[in-house]
Amino acid sequence: MTDLRYAVRYFHVVPPVSRLMVISFGVLTTAGGLLTVADGTNASAAVPILVLQAFGVSTGFAVLARRGYFDLLVARGLPRVRIAVVQWVLAAMPGLCCWAVLGATHALNHGGGNPFIQSGTVVAFLMASTIPWAVSVGLPRFSGAIGWLLVAAQADFGGVIWPDSVHDVIVPVVLLGTDLGHRLEVLTPAVMLSLVSMTLALVWVHRSDIRLEAAQ
């Protein structure tokens, strides 16, 4: 537990999400909160936060490790997997907090169903908070988010007609505010994709030989 607290304090000093991105989250949440107060019929205010969340968690863990960013934690004997998990949680926290603020704003200003706590919104944020981190674990920063946007653009504008269930998994923005209670063909693969991608990424972190880059 002491080592875990040390890791959290370390990432407060060397945050996985830049200050500029945190400010961007704040601006988008403020604007989204105003939009939610004016019109609480859908979760459209969460769209830019969902996209920014994908960039926020695309940390490029192994690239940072090779540059020595985590040497102080490794020197204390923390396993790389634990370091990776703490980094991922703290990277995902700003976007998740912004989502919670929008949900609370809707609850305080509107009656009826809250689109920010619908199952589709939950699944969309689950995917945006996990898959980009897992994809970019051995790649440069933001690569997971950029790859996701390219795949989503191909799904929407590539000329290929995808089945609705496949399209909704590839482009989770369309899930915001929806109820997936009777759409197991979307819910199941989306959740499995998130869990499997994170599991494979952590296994890769555990087994890979991540060596420091030579000084230039």
**Residue-averaged pLDDT of the chain:** 90
Q: What is the DSSP string of the chain?
A: -HHHHHHHHHHHHS-SS-HHHHHHHHHHHHHHHHHHHH--SS-GGGHHHHHHHHHHH---HHHHHHTTTTHHHHHTT--HHHHHHHHHHHHHHHHHHHHHHHHHHHHHH--S--GGGSHHHHHHHHHHHHHHHHHTTTS-TTHHHHHHHHHHHHHHHSS----HHHHHHH-GGGGTT---TT-HHHHHHHHHHHHHHHHHHHHHHHHS--PPPPP-
| Residue ranges, the chain, pLDDT below 70 | 1, 158-160, 213-216
Residue 214, pLDDT score: 54
Residue 216, pLDDT score: 43
Domain borders along the chain are 2-207
Instruction: Indicate the pTM of the whole model.
Output: 0.92
Q: Could you report the per-residue pLDDT of 40-50, keeping only the tens digit for each?
A: 888 999 999 99
What are residue 29's phi and psi, to 5 degrees?
Answer: -70, -40
Residue 215, pLDDT score: 46
